[in-house]
Amino acid sequence: MNESKEMLLAMYGTMYRIRKFEEATEKWYAAGLIPGFVHLYIGEEAVATGVCSALGKDDYITSTHRGHGHLIARGGDVKLMMAELFAKKTGYCKGKGGSMHICDLSLGIIGSNGIVGAGLPIATGVGFASKMRGNGQVCACFFGDGASNRGTFHESINMASILKLPVIFVCENNLYGISGCVRETMNISDISIRATSYGIPGIKIDGNDVLAVYHTTRAAVEHARSGGGPILIEAKTWRQCGHWQGDPDNYRNPAECKAWLEKDPIERFEDIIIKKGIASKSEIKNIQDKEIEAINSAVEFAKQSPKPDPEDLYTDVFA
């Protein structure tokens, strides 16, 4: 491992912050304080963290309906995010967007998106703009296995390929699109092989191994920045919760769930950090305490914030 201790602990902190943000979301959603739909990212933290750690500050990401982890890994403000989930005036969209509409252009976050597969053409457009500006910016595009069966996946990657656009397509293959298992929704076992159809590299990796995700993305970023064009990375992972909060999650095999829980990305990384002597248990505990504190303050901020005023209903809307 060539990364500095600081970098490795920052990655650990990011994964832990995502986990605690999602656990708080789960808790306050159940308590009725968060309206609308939420899709939790628990179990997939290594993908967002590994990818975003490999990006530069001027790069971009596009996200999905399961976007909290992507936004946090890209540096999103957890206070503004939590306030948005609580539908408060202080939130990212002034409380009018909710979980699936958060964006922060100052961080290159082009936005989460409630339409499955809609981030792909947006990412291709971002890649096109970057190429025209010629300043080396790249875009990482997150999407799921389910999204990879949509036409937008095929047309966006084809166009990015022929125009050699700097886009890193990151398929978070958690093996399910709602209750539909990839074993029933596609006739291939690896989505990465679809890259062949568009003449670009396709790589499959263990998405619960943050360092594998980081190293693969770093190489992809170098390739894209230097004019090599897009890459498809398939990160195999697992959502530890139901599809959305309220999903009975009665369609997955208990043995498969158990096997994936044993590959929890945060516990695995913590083990590596301790075993390789990178940090002590008490250093890890300090990071955890700091992140728990940040999430507690975000929840407090969201709770104390005012609701939008009735007259705000007609502001910031196009029609």
Ligand X SMILES: Cc1ncc(C[n+]2csc(CCOP(=O)(O)OP(=O)(O)O)c2C)c(N)n1
Residues making contact with Mg ion (CB under 5 A):
144-146, 174, 177
- Which amino acid appears at position 123 of this protein? A
Q: Which does 147 bind (CB under 5 to 8 A by kind): Mg ion, ligand X, none?
A: ligand X
Partner in contact with 261, chosen from ligand X, Mg ion, none, beta carbon below 5 to 8 Å by kind: none
3-state secondary structure of 144: strand
Exposure string (b/e) for 131-161, b if CB count within 10 Å is 16 or more? beeeebbbbbbbbbbbbbbbebbbebbbbbb
Q: Give the type of residue at 134.
A: G
Q: Which stretch binds ligand X (CB under 6 A): 88-96, 124-132, 153-161, 174-182?
A: 174-182
d(CA 127, CA 165): 5
Q: Which of 191, 152, 195, 196 is nearest to 172 (CA)?
A: 191
Binding ligand X (rule: CB under 6 A), the pick from 145, 234, 270, 291 is 145
Of 96-125, binders to ligand X (CB under 6 A) are 114-116
Nearest to 170 by CA among 179, 158, 181, 157: 157
236 binds ligand X, rule: CB under 6 A: no
Encoded one letter per residue, x for contact with ligand X by CB under 6 A and - for no contact, window 49-88 reads ----------------xx----------------------
| 192 versus 305: smaller Cβ distance to ligand X | 192
Give the tokens for residue 83: 């306030």
Return the residue of 7, 129, 162, 178 that touches ligand X, per CB under 6 A.
178
CA distance 206 to 147: 19
Residues that contact ligand X, how many (by CB under 6 A): 14
Q: Which residues bind ligand X (CB under 6 A)?
A: 65-66, 114-116, 144-147, 174, 176-178, 243
